[in-house]
Each structure stands twice: as C-alpha cells, then as structure tokens.
C-alpha cells in the first residue's frame, strides 16, 4: 500500500454489522503512516420517501425532517464518530435517499473514493437471489476496491 492519502467510504445503517464496518474503515484510515491523513466518508442511504396512497390526505415527511431525527442520527453515527475522534481520522458524514447500492456507487464516483468498506450478512444463495444483496452489487459494479466485512 502506498503511503498516500486515501478516501474511504463506509456504508452506515445503524446495525451492529455496519458499526463493525465503520470500525474497520477508521482502522484502515488510521493505519496509514504517512504525513497525509486518510479521510473516511460515512454514508447513510435511506429508502426513497414512502409512497402515498389515495387514502393519505397529508403526505408523510422524509425521515430527516421528522421529530427525533437528531437523536436517531446521533445513534446511527455514534460508533464511527467516536472511533474517528479517538484515532484523529478526518470524517465526513452524508445522508442520501435512494437504492443503497446505487447511491453508494454514485457517491464513490462523485467523491473519487479509493476504497468502499461495506458489511455483508452472508445471506444464503436463495435469499440473495430473491432479495438481492447490497454488498454483492457494490462488489460487482464498483470502480474502486471494496473491503467486505463479514458478520
């Protein structure tokens, strides 16, 4: 590994597995011994806003605009913010809406990310075929390296 600054993207969703991926991303960034600090980007991808039906008279607001979002966001990003602060790793947090795999890949392209760190639950073949796998799609379509953290 060259001793150059790296941009590391980690997928965050508040689950224990994403917390583990966040720890790995910060560890990767902190392990760079050069004078150039690597930066970690924590990305939370929320599903598109809920579809309103004809029975809805008032459309629901996106999660980021609802009461309690500040506390929820704090809980979701707690582990990565704590680890990055302890290891003095620069951290950028972003929240976007859309399909998780597509948004991770779009963000990685836009920010010229060097490594994507993502958790994988290790679903079986049948579940993966029926439900799809975010980590599988990211590994298959990413233009950069992908570090898969197993649960």
Give 24-54 pLDDT, tens digit per residue: 999 999 986 666 778 999 999 987 755 555 5
Task: Write down the pLDDT at residue 34.
Answer: 65
Task: Write down the pLDDT at residue 131.
Answer: 45
pLDDT confidence tier of residue 122, bands split at 50, 70 and 90:
low
pLDDT digits (tens, 9 = 90+) for 62-107: 655 666 767 888 888 999 999 999 999 999 999 998 999 999 999 9
Q: In CATH, which of 3.40.50.9100, 3.30.1780.10, 3.40.50.920, 3.40.50.620 is domain 7-47+60-150?
A: 3.40.50.620
Cα of first residue to Cα of last residue in the chain, in angstroms, is: 26
Task: Please give the backbone phi and psi of residue 38, each rounded to the nearest 5 degrees, phi first.
Answer: -75, 155
Q: What is the mean pLDDT of residues 117-127?
A: 69
Residue 151 pLDDT greater than 90, yes or no: no
What is the C-alpha radius of gyration for the chain, rounded to an integer number of angstroms? 17
CB 142 within 8 A of CB 105: yes
């Amino acid at each position: 590994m060259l001793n150059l600054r790296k941009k590391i993207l980690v997928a965050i969703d508040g689950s224990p597995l994403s917390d583990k991926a966040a720890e790995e991303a910060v560890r990767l960034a902190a392990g760079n011994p050069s004078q150039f600090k690597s930066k970690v980007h924590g990305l939370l991808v929320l599903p598109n806003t809920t579809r309103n039906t004809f029975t809805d008279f008032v459309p629901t607001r996106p999660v980021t605009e609802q009461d309690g979002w500040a506390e929820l966001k704090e809980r979701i990003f707690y582990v990565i913010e704590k680890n990055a602060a302890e290891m003095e790793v620069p951290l950028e947090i972003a929240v976007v809406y859309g399909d998780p795999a597509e948004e991770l890949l779009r963000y990685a392209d836009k920010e010229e990310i060097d490594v994507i760190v993502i958790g994988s639950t290790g679903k079986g073949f049948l579940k993966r075929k029926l439900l799809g796998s975010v980590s599988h799609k990211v590994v298959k379509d990413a233009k950069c390296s992908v570090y898969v953290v197993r649960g």
